[in-house]
């Protein structure tokens, strides 16, 4: 298993809890999110919070 810095590992762990998302897909999503512009990440996180 690959070792990631704790914040990235936590992100992967949380993403992998979503239905249909395995560890490898969670890793891909995490690294995609890390490459996004800060404003886009903020929009994504706000959308999740507001939908809840």
Residues in contact with 24: Cβ distance below 8 Å, sequence separation at least 6, in sequence order: none
What CATH number does residue 32 fall under?
1.10.8.420
1 domain residue, yes or no:
no
Q: In total, how many domains does the chain have?
A: 1
Contact in structure between 24 and 32 (CB atoms under 8 Å): no
Which tens digits make up the pLDDT trace of 13-46? 999 999 999 999 999 999 999 999 999 999 999 9
11 domain residue, yes or no:
yes
34 domain residue, yes or no:
yes
Domain around 10: 6-51
The pTM score is 0.88
Here the contacts of 20-24 (C-beta below 8 Å, separation 24 or greater) are none
> Confidence class of residue 2 from pLDDT cuts 50, 70 and 90?
confident
């Amino acid at each position: 298993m690959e070792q990631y810095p704790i914040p990235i590992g936590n992100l992967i762990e949380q993403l992998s809890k979503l239905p249909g998302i395995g560890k490898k897909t969670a890793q891909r999503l995490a690294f995609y999110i890390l490459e996004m512009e800060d404003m886009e990440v903020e929009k994504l996180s706000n959308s999740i919070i507001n939908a809840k």
